[in-house]
Amino acid sequence: MCGKVSEKHDRMKIARSGLWLLMLMQFFPTGINAQYHPPVDQPGTSAMHKDSVSFVSWASSCIIERGFINMVDSGLTYNGANKTTYGTNSYATGRADGSVVSLGDRGTALLSFDLPIVNRPGPDFAVFENSFSDSFLELAFVEVSSDGQHFVRFPSVSLTSENEQVSTFGTVDATKINNLAGKYRMEFGTPFDLDDILDSAAIDLQNITHIRIIDVGGCLETAYAVFDSQGHKVNDPWPTPFDTGGFDLDGLGVIHNSANGFDGEKKVTEVLIYPNPVTSEMSVSTMEKGEVGLKISDLSGRILLEQAFSDKEQFDFSSFTAGLYIARFSLNDGTIITKKIVKN
């Protein structure tokens, strides 16, 4: 069992302006009290339901490399096995349905797709785990690749205490977790936006062919600890010495792939949204002849507005809560154009 270790956290530098500090806290949370997206059903959550209309496809193949049920004691067994045994590779493919494959400590899943994932406005895919609650969170790193060999990891943050090990059935506060899979309970995926790794030269963000899910292990003991992108030890329920130990992968839903992206990118100037950010009234205009379909949804995929328009139209946005929304325009030739809307 891991013991207590000394706390080490980088402190936020004090901004000169109170306004600037507020912006930093809102968009670039740092420090132990930072607040990231909250659990399912709470205002500001980024959780995506498995039945969201945003998903256009799911992982089509999966290769699992099982981890130990207890990486500190590799000789420990459960039902005669020292590695997890629950589930099969196929449980991680197709739509998330509650059937999972357990990775074990530091176990991995390598997922591939019928069509490459591409970078578009908003989240590009979401990873599903099977937590039974909003606080029993088993976490995993997420990495992407354009060739199955060179991978780039999403920058993640874990602000759970480094002083005390989260116990086997202990809890984790979702608001202290960012860009780690497993942040949300069963049936709700954690979204990932390729914009977060725009500066990565090792991959093509318009041709993501593989995604690797890596269980964090979660042990605070120095010899076995793993770290987030800010240097914090990642702490989650440990040990979980069962056949179902570690991250339980239910599926990976694709939001943007090569079938719903490239043509729209060429025509992106054919529709305009203004002002953006919007406070109350939002205008849209198009150079298309005939009607253009518009759907506006929140990050969970829930459609909040659906209407066809021609030339130019105004929409009342005053009742929308502050946050990020996704607008999808359907052109006459079948092209889909996706844009972000920021509501102040």
| Cα-only R_g, the chain | 21
The residue with tokens 């992206």 is: 261
How far apart are the C-alpha atoms of 23 and 284, rounded to whole Å?
A: 28
Q: What is the CATH number that goes with domain 35-260?
A: 2.60.120.260
pLDDT score of 323? 86
How far apart are the C-alpha atoms of 158 and 140, rounded to whole Å?
A: 11
Chosen CATH of 262-343 out of 2.60.40.3080, 3.40.640.10, 3.30.565.10, 3.30.310.220? 2.60.40.3080
pTM of the model as a whole: 0.75
Where do the domains of the chain lie? 35-260, 262-343
* DSSP codes, 247-262: -EE-EEEES-BTTTTH
- Each residue's pLDDT expressed in tens, for the chain with a length of 344 residues: 444 333 333 433 333 334 333 333 444 444 446 699 999 999 889 999 999 888 989 999 999 999 999 999 999 999 999 999 999 999 999 999 999 999 999 999 999 999 999 998 889 999 999 999 999 999 999 999 999 999 999 999 999 999 999 999 999 999 999 999 999 999 999 999 999 999 898 899 999 999 999 999 999 999 999 999 999 999 999 999 999 999 999 999 999 998 765 444 445 557 889 998 999 999 999 888 888 999 998 877 788 999 999 889 999 999 999 888 888 888 887 777 878 888 99
CA distances in angstroms from 214 to 32, 142, 153, 256, 306, listed in the order given: 24, 7, 10, 22, 38
pLDDT score of 25? 41
pLDDT score of 83? 98
pLDDT score of 20? 37
How far apart are the C-alpha atoms of 161 and 107, rounded to whole Å?
A: 23
